[in-house]
Amino acid sequence: MQIRNSIKAIIIKGENILLTKNHDHEGIFYLCPGGGQEHGETFHETLERECLEEIGQKVSIGELLYIREYIGKNHEHSAFDFNVHQIEYYFECQLNKSEEMSFHPSNPDQHQIGIEWVPIHELLQYRMYPQQLRKHIIKHVNGEKTPIYLGDCN
């Protein structure tokens, strides 16, 4: 079994965060844009490609904010994620275009049904994964110190 790297973007504009909107058998859920690193790609190359695929926009990549592990057998989705071990790297990013624009993903994920600006102050009311990331994003926006390594969480 291999460990998979996934590189994610935290895109905040004003009071909102840009998330992909997804649908599964439990309903609607949200994720930060990004995805799996391919052989030979740097983290930045992965994130640039994934943002074009999922949100249809180029991003400027800033600092690394969080590292999260996901060991599927330890969480509520272990029935289908039992053998998954993924390490996710969350970078602060900005959209390259300053004006409001439409999003045209070139290769959205299987469950992705849209893209949405979500109010950060309402983030705890959304089914977002990883769930623990929501409180860290809120603290980050409020200028509070947060850990970089979040551990094995969902």
pLDDT tens sequence across 92-125: 999 986 545 667 787 777 789 999 999 999 999 9
Produce one character per residue of 36-70: b if its CB has 16 or more CB atoms within 10 Å, e if not. Answer: ebeeebeeeebbbbbbbbbbbbebebeeebbebbb
pTM over 0.85: yes
Whether the CA torsion 126, 130, 135, 136 is positive or negative: it is: negative
Domain limits for position 112: 4-152
Q: What are residue 49's phi and psi, to 5 degrees? A: -65, -45
d(CA 52, CA 7): 13
Q: What CATH number is attached to the domain comprising 72? A: 3.90.79.10
Q: Is the pLDDT score of 8 beyond 90?
A: yes
pLDDT number for residue 99: 44
Better-predicted residue by pLDDT, 105 or 149: 149
Rg (CA), the chain: 15
- Which tens digits make up the pLDDT trace of 65-95? 999 999 888 887 767 778 889 999 999 999 9
Count up the domains in the chain and report the number.
1
